[in-house]
Amino acid sequence: MDWNSKPVSELLRAALREDHAGEDATSSALIPPGTHAQARLLCRQRCRLAGLGLIEPLLRELATLARATENEDWQARVVALYASDGDELNEGQLVAQLAGSARALLAAERTLLNFIQHLSGIATQTARFVAAVAGTGARILDTRKTTPGLRELEKYAVRIGGGVNHRPHLAGGVLIKNNHLALAGGVEQAFRAARRSYAPETIEIEVRTLDEVRAARAVGARWLLLDNMTPEEVRAAALAVGADMRLEVSGGVRLQNVRAYAEAGIAEISAGALTHSAPAADFSLRLGPGPAA
């Protein structure tokens, strides 16, 4: 993950501006200019860590924002890291130590925690799904059900959790879904139209019934997305098409039933729950008097 990329920098800048980080009324009233502090980033539950690399660029963006608003020079930095993305953390574990401008650390606190808690929550959720299908050979995939503006970071967190990224965006591949089918006239018509521009093995087509499975196979489809089928229906679909068809399951996939889909013989299982329903992990930032950055 390139934490210094332009999209990430723009995202961090927008998040700080959203919080009016250079105009902290409370700190301005209570903390004298030039006050220095140290901060400890602590994990408050067992979880899979993700997003640690954004702390330094976030602090840099804050210092730039503060200069732009004519505040004093807000310099803060990471003094030490005691963990890495992908680590399994325990409750109470010290993750990082920061130091520098007290006003900068206070202004960055909530934005920093929001990102790390959210990304670590996704990584933790993904790791649970991956563990649930261990030994079956199935891979856990994400979807485009991501928070607008955060997709790159959320898909990174999925990878940290052991999952696999599906399409990054609409331009990332052909996936014919139910609304495409409704407008194109059905499975056969939609697949034939896509075949005019793409090879059959690169065209994924969503099917919801065994009849649609058979229709897709008959027209030459090589890659099916079995949508909102039960594990029993998935097993029947796999038997109907044979081992040479690439199959993916999506829709209604939960932690409680994901292994049943994997044991039905499906190698790829995509779950929107990895990103849209992952509970935030619990972290805190504790400040105290300290040295300059």
Q: Are 96 and 55 in contact (CB under 8 A)?
A: yes
Using CA atoms, how far apart are residues 162 and 41, in angstroms rounded to an integer? 24
Q: In this structure, which CATH number among 3.40.50.720, 3.40.1390.10, 3.40.50.150, 3.20.20.70 belongs to the domain 135-276?
A: 3.20.20.70
Model confidence at 119: pLDDT above 90:
yes
Question: 10 Å Cβ neighbour count for 188?
Answer: 16
Q: How confident is the model at residue 293 (pLDDT cuts 50, 70, 90)?
A: low
The residue that leads in pLDDT, 111 or 290, is 111
Tens digits of residue pLDDT in 228-277: 999 999 999 998 887 889 999 999 999 999 999 999 989 999 999 999 99
Q: Do domains 6-129+279-289 and 135-276 have the same CATH topology?
A: no
Tell me which residues are annotated as active site.
110, 145, 177, 206, 227
Q: What is the mean pLDDT of the chain?
A: 94
Give the pLDDT band (50/70/90) at residue 292: low
Q: Which pLDDT does position 242 carry in this prediction? A: 79
In this structure, are residues 164 and 143 in contact, taking their beta carbons and an 8 Å threshold?
no
pLDDT for the residue 96: 98
Q: What would be the CATH architecture of the domain defined by 6-129+279-289?
A: Alpha-Beta Complex (3.90)
**Domain residue limits, the chain:** 6-129+279-289, 135-276
Q: Which two tokens stand for residue 229?
A: 């089928």
